[in-house]
Structure 1
Amino acid sequence: MKPYQFIIGVVAAAIFFLLFPGVDISFSRLFYQPGEGFFPRGVPPADILYHLVTMIAYAVAIFVVGASLARLIPRLERLWVRPRVIAFIALSLALGPGLIVNSLLKDNVGRARPYMIAEFGGTKTFSPALAPSDQCTKNCSFVSGHAAGAFFLVTFAFLIRHPRRRRWAMAGALAFGAASGLGRIALGAHFLSDVVFAGLIVYAVAWGLHEFLLVRESKPPPWLDKLGLDKLGLSEPGARAWRAWQRWAATPGGELILSFAAASLLCLALIAYLDRPLALWFHRLDAGWHEFFKALSDLGAAGAYLVITFVAFAALRLAARIEMFKARAGALKAYSMVAAFIFSAVAASGILINVLKVLFGRVRPKLLFRDELYRFDWFRLDADFHSFPSGHAQTITALMVALFILFPRFGVAYLVIGAAIAISRAVVNAHYMGDIVAGAYAAAVMTIWVHSVFARSGIDLKLSVGGEYQRVAKVPWCYRLGLGGGLWGRLCRLAGKRAARSSSRENPRGK
């Protein structure tokens, strides 16, 4: 779209609604029944769109934070998103639906919502679009915040390079925004002009940022390039420091510290700002949603996975000893290592999670609704104080990460399944979102550690998946557990020397 075409469209919409303000009332009257009012809240289509827009905003915020932090870890280079793309998405959300719509306009124009005005059984006076009014003081009608959040999806359509696919994506985003806005109109929360101008504002912001950041050849402000941290034009001392940082960040210890810092910051932000409002929002969902997500969350229980993998390990090892399976004994033992790995990943991370639950003693959401309790009570054994971290999120994350290590081809499916089951624990108010993030992070770290223990024990799990048996290496357990440095390393070497001397005495050379 050319700039002049968009400007003409905005001016035309403004003139139309100023010349014909009655269009707003006439359109809203289509959804109003005298004596009954507008459509009741909770109508499935409108209710689903209402909650979906909120979830999209949270998901985008998490994506922006995660994509920014991922650029600090060299091993995640395959997942890096261009700094300008991150800035484009973040600024589009912050400036359009955030600053302009929900801060500047909704709290200052003062337009009363449809259900507030006299024409629809209220006490306030109708005011045309764009006209300042004193009929509302906060969170007013002009413009629609939820419609703006839905129209925000045009931001992602701008990122599609193929012209035809971009047009289809743009049409889909605009249709979603229109549908969300229609739902708000049907509930009596907004006028037609509120939705139209919300779409125009969000589209204008996204289009302008896209032109400024991603299309024009002119160099953007220096602070945008600094997001990348890889093309800063640093002086030689600064460049040396940056290279040293990259080398440290690429080490296992550096990756662990950086990932722990990122997860901790995210958990703290959720606990401080989002856990409580999200829990209250989930609590208000219809019972049907709770029943669906309750069934989904049951898939995160650890018991079944532990029993299945343990029985599989025992059965495979036993079968390898039976004469009729002697020809396949090596393959059976190899497969048993796969079952042992999954069992160990779920069990080890589960032990850590249960220790942390007692240590932190976070109150579960149900006590927030019943007694207004929202705090941490350290070292509590009561299950009502075991919200942080989430055990179900830990179980499903450990399982999905283990499966990804074994069968990496289906990574996207593991991510979707794991996220859906983990988040369901927050939807049913069994946990807060911060609990889920903490549980998932701890499970991922422990599963990767268990994988390293198997590797240091001489077990290549990729070969085990293919049925190739490998004998467990005879190395001290402190080495297998990754405790080869410092005092543990010296003790480990001492234990290894003693074991070697004992073995040589039991089996002297030549016998």
Structure 2
Amino acid sequence: MSRPFSSSLWLLLATMLLVAALLPFDGTLSQRAQALPEGIVAFNTRITDFGTFAWMIYGSGSIVIIAYIASRVASSDSFSSKSKTAWRLALYFLVTIGSASTLVHLAKLIFGRARPELFADYGAHSLTWFAGHEWVYQSFPSGHSAAVGSFFSAFSMLVPRLRILFLLGALTIGVTRVVVGAHYPSDVAAGLLLGLWAAIMAAFVFAARNWLFRHDEKGWPRPKS
């Protein structure tokens, strides 16, 4: 069994177990989060939209990515090395964020989970299969969480010494989705882990080509520099 395939299976299993563990508490945790003091809810409302795919690609997120690529290019020696570093980094971010976006929107369409605003009518576990084209049935998984999960996880793979900070950043934005009443905790967990999966799988693919990453002694992708 190939390393990417076996790793994807383990991450898929971990995601399923975590989501299953949160499901019984989704309704209670969602209602309690929305009932937090007004100042906390207002703060979460202000920062929650940093987690959209549009922000990652067209907004400030793209500026962060470009700045990082520029710093890596500046440390390269030759023009050829600078060029390879630039387009490979850009491709890595594009593949990671793009694949996470595709998968999360497909999952939303399939599951059609009712959002917390419909909790009084349907409860926390209502699924309307293939009704995900309607916003109120797009709760699972969280798109914001998948976006920040892929964005911060890509950086955590490239700069592992700051991994804990990047993962905490993703978790922070994910939690805001529960506080503002847009998603249940299991939606957020699924979105974050989907984004993490996208970053890891993209790193495996790049490591196989000796682009940006290499396989360590255990077979995991590690940044080359």
Q: If the length of structure 1 is used for normalisation, what is the TM-score?
A: 0.37
Provide the rounded CA distance (Å) in 2 between the counterparts of 1:428 and 1:355.
23
Provide the rounded CA distance (Å) in 1 between the counterparts of 2:21 and 2:161.
33
Query: Cα–Cα, structure 1 residues 416 and 363, in superposed 2: closer, same or farther, change >3 Å?
Result: same
1:275 maps to which residue?
26
Moved over 6 A (4+): none
Identical columns (%): 25
Q: Please list, as runs of the form range in 1=range in 2, the aligned pairs for 1:86-235 lying within 5 A after superposition.
A: none
| Equivalent position to 2:93, from 331, 335, 342 | 342
| Equivalent position to 1:395, from 147, 150, 156 | 147
1:364 maps to which residue?
115
TM-superposed deviation, 1:410: 0.6
TM-superposed deviation, 1:252: 4.7
Query: Cα–Cα, structure 1 residues 436 and 349, in superposed 2: closer, same or farther, change >3 Å?
Result: same
1:351 aligns with 2:109: no
TM-superposed deviation, 1:282: 1.5
Can you give the 5+ residue segments of structure 2 that lack an aligned partner in the other structure?
71-77, 214-222
Q: Deviations over 1:38-72 (max 9, x none)?
A: xxxxxxxxxxxxxxxxxxxxxxxxxxxxxxxxxxx
TM-superposed deviation, 1:251: 5.3
CA contact (8 A) 1:387 1:431 kept: yes
2:206 maps to which residue?
454
TM-superposed deviation, 1:419: 1.1
1:442 maps to which residue?
194
Provide the rounded CA distance (Å) in 2 between the counterparts of 1:343 and 1:257.
23
1:419 aligns with 2:171: yes
TM-superposed deviation, 1:286: 2.5
2:183 maps to which residue?
431
1:221 maps to which residue?
none
Q: Deviations over 1:324-364 (max 9, x none)?
A: xxx63531431232122112211111100000000000000
TM-superposed deviation, 1:312: 4.3
| Paired residue total | 204
Q: Please list, as runs of the form range in 1=range in 2, the aligned pairs for 1:427-506 lying within 5 A after superposition.
A: 427-461=179-213, 462-463=223-224
Provide the rounded CA distance (Å) in 2 between the counterparts of 1:338 and 1:269.
36
TM-superposed deviation, 1:254: 4.1
| Paired residue type of 1:349 | A
| Equivalent position to 1:264, from 2, 5, 16 | 16
Larger radius of gyration: 1
| Equivalent position to 1:377, from 118, 123, 128 | 128
CA contact (8 A) 1:305 1:343 kept: no
| Equivalent position to 2:36, from 271, 274, 285 | 285
Q: Deviations over 1:119-138 (max 9, x none)?
A: xxxxxxxxxxxxxxxxxxxx
TM-superposed deviation, 1:441: 1.4
1:303 aligns with 2:58: no
| Paired residue type of 1:289 | I
| Paired residue type of 2:31 | L
CA contact (8 A) 2:149 2:196 kept: yes
Provide the rounded CA distance (Å) in 1 between the counterparts of 2:93 and 2:146.
13
Provide the rounded CA distance (Å) in 1 between the counterparts of 2:55 and 2:18.
31
Can you give the 5+ residue segments of structure 1 that lack an aligned partner in the other structure?
1-247, 317-326, 467-511
Provide the rounded CA distance (Å) in 1 between the counterparts of 2:199 and 2:4.
14
2:81 maps to which residue?
330
Which one scores higher on RCO, CA 8 angstroms, separation ≥ 6?
2
CA contact (8 A) 1:293 1:424 kept: yes
| Paired residue type of 2:104 | I
Provide the rounded CA distance (Å) in 2 between the counterparts of 1:312 and 1:286.
38
Q: If the length of structure 2 is used for normalisation, what is the TM-score?
A: 0.80
| Equivalent position to 1:408, from 157, 160, 181 | 160
CA contact (8 A) 1:393 1:436 kept: yes
Q: Deviations over 1:375-412 (max 9, x none)?
A: 01110111110000001111111111111111111112
Provide the rounded CA distance (Å) in 2 between the counterparts of 1:377 and 1:330.
51
